[in-house]
Structure 1
Amino acid sequence: MPVKHPRVAVLLAAYNGMRWIEEQLASILSQSAVDVTVCISIDPSTDGTEDWCTAYAVAHPNVIVLPKVGKFGGAARNFFRLIRDVDLAPYDFIAFADQDDIWHADKLQRATGMIVSRHVDAYSSNVTAFWPDGRTQLLDKAQPQVAWDYLFEAAGPGCSYVMSQPFAQTLKTSMLANWHALQAVSLHDWYIYAFARSHGYHWYIDPLPSIEYRQHEHNQVGANAGFLSLLSRFKTIHDGWWFTQVKTIALLVGQEDDPFVKSWLPLRRRQLFKLSLSASQCRRRTRDKVFFFCICWATALLGNKAQ
């Protein structure tokens, strides 16, 4: 049965976020029909984020700033720290938040309701990217899931993720058991989606956007929109980062012995040609399926530093 006012822990990773974090926190604390606790982990900052958040938490009892533990150097490690250090037991659901977005007022109400009504374990949604010049663009990640998409992409921006507490606890247990190897993962949202799907958990990707997804010069990943974004992503593939992450995540979620994964995991020329033939089962969006096929061929012919 749906929980009338579900208790939601929102895990927020911050770093030099003074320009945006107050507006974001206001949108989180204004969520409808849920009881929210915000837990903030701050990568050491130079713009006063730590002092401001500490003062904000004093004035807002449902905001908690975690103790300093040193430098993370990226959002993924900061979110992993949040999962590790926050006691998840008192909550019904766990959500992620970036410091610079704006949430729709019913984001958590809709997400938790969907998890319950659809009998799934985790949820993500489309988002609406917006730029300082007023441009907006829907980022559509809600295409039907396919057999192996989770090894090659996330379920959408991690800031839209909401998880049931039982799933989040299982994820946390696995993370703690593989903590050292986990530090090689650059994108927490990709890893968490891969863990869920590879372990038989059910995930729903909502076509209705739930977040205004702010774009600025300091986005670690940002919107995959336009030619320059495509060029940047090709560079990460040619430099070996993307295929290295594919291999790291496949091993971390225990897929190395699956016949399909074994057929391409060495990522040499012959395996890449073979992997290209499975493009339709490796990405969700049609454009990405075509790009995946081309990237496999280009990497096979030109090589990459992951080999």
Structure 2
Amino acid sequence: MSVKLPRIAVLLAAYNGMHWIEEQLASILAQTGVDLTVYISVDTSADGTQVWCEQYASDHASVIVLPPAGTFGGAARNFFRLVRDVELERFDFVAFADQDDIWHPDKLMRATSIIRNRHIDAYSSNVTAFWSNGSTHLLNKAQPQVEWDFLFEAAGPGCTYVMSKKVIEALKSSMRTNWQQLQSVSLHDWYCYAFARSHGFSWFIDPEPSMEYRQHERNQVGANKGLSSLISRYKTIHDGWWFSQVQLIAQLVGREADPFVRGWVGLRRAQLLRLSFSAWRCRRRRRDKVFFFCICWATALIGTKVR
């Protein structure tokens, strides 16, 4: 008797990806124990990515390239377009993919097995960052989830996300309703995690890395590692981007009226100071809890260019 394999739609957002996309697609198509279809949306590119992907799709029946839809200006809008435009009803799961990583052969089989065996709704995992000089670093995002982490951080890199049918159906419906506001969200992985958790869906963050996470100068968001990353994160907070995204995501996922959120969402000085004492409820990793506490105080005392 044949075993029914989980049907998975892999949504891949591409942009000027000719250096890496062939290797990435090969690792996706080499997945074991699943029945997958890859959908590619190409942001307007100058290196021939669209034409190359269309030719690749003509040679691979399980790869479909969406027609050009203009310039997105960032991966988030491209992923939102994929979720909105791809017919996902026949799939059991939906996974996100970047154009430049290398997936382990059992990535999707492990993710879907964990979702089914643990009776959860969505999955993400740790990754192994790697650089062209051969160095590697485990990016550990699998600390225990806390009450409000989803409003302040993602569940790890979006390219590890695998979501069940009921999560993606609810997400897609909400995205269509809030499409214009959604265009201002900069990070699709943060938003999708916030949506799932805020709507009562369970999420598992796997400590086992599921892929090699390529680091290069064109990464929109790369490995959060070292002092330079910490300084970069502080700059995004000081210029108002991070807190503006927190406010927007809280609104889009319907948590603005929650008493906890109402207590700080205006980002006034006293509110930020009060929020600092909830750091342990807002970030997963101990280092990030301390950083969160300090940032709340620094923003309250120095100010920020909240947009």
TM-score, with length taken from structure 2: 0.98
Distance 1:220 1:68 in 2: 21
- String of CA shifts for 1:187-244, please: whole Å, max 9, x gaps: 0000000001111000000000001000000000110001111110100000000000
One-letter code of the match for 2:233?
A: R
Q: Does 1:99 align with 2:118?
A: no
CA contact (8 A) 1:124 1:161 kept: yes
Please tell me the residue identity of whatever aligns with 1:210. S
Give the corresponding residue for 1:65: 65
Equivalence for 1:211: 211
Aligned mates of 1:106, 1:58 — CA distance in 2: 26
Contact 1:127 1:211 in 2 (8 A): yes
**Superposed, which structure 2 residues align to 1:112-261 within 5 Å?**
112-261=112-261
Match of 1:26 in 2: 26
1-side partners of 2:95 and 2:221: how far apart? 19
Superposition CA RMSD, Å:
0.7
Letter in 1 for 2:198: S
- Report the Cα offset of residue 36 of structure 1: 1.1
Measure the CA separation in 2 of the matches of 1:208 and 1:58: 35
Structure-2 residue corresponding to 1:6: 6
**Following TM superposition, by how much is the alpha carbon of 1:167 offset from its aligned partner in structure 2, in angstroms?**
1.1
| Identity across the alignment (%) | 71
Residue-by-residue CA offset, 1:138-194 (whole Å, 9 max, x unaligned): 000000000000000000000000000121011000100000111110000000000
* Alpha-carbon distance in structure 2 between the residues aligned to 1:24 and 1:165: 24
Give the match for residue 79 of structure 2: 79
- For residues 77-117 of structure 1, the C-alpha deviation after alignment (integer angstroms, 9 at most, x for no partner) is 00000000000111111000000000000000000001101
- Structure 1, unaligned runs of 5 or more: none
Q: Tell me which amino acid in the other structure corresponds to 2:189.
A: D
Deviation of 1:4 after TM superposition, in Å, equals: 3.6
Q: Distance in 2 between matches of 1:197 and 1:306?
A: 25
3-state DSSP of counterpart to 1:41: strand
The amino acid of 1:254's aligned partner reads: G
CA distance in 1, matches of 2:262, 2:213: 37
Say yes or no: does 1:306 pair with 2:302. Answer: no
Question: Equivalent residue of 1:112, what SS?
Answer: helix
Matched residue SS, 1:37: strand
1:8/1:36 contact within 8 Å kept: yes
SS at match of 2:254: coil
- Aligned pair count reads 305
Q: Hey, what's the Cα distance between the residues in 1 that align with 2:47 and 2:114?
A: 38
What do the CA deviations read for 1:263-296 (whole angstroms, capped 9, x no partner)?
Answer: 0010011000000000000000000000000000
Tell whether the 8 Å contact from 1:4 to 1:33 is kept in structure 2 after alignment.
no
CA distance in 1, matches of 2:120, 2:4: 18
Identify the residue that residue 267 of structure 2 maps to in structure 1. Answer: 267
TM-score by length of 1: 0.98
Gapped regions of structure 2 (runs ≥ 5) = none
* Corresponding residue SS for 1:260: helix
Measure the CA separation in 2 of the matches of 1:281 and 1:167.
24
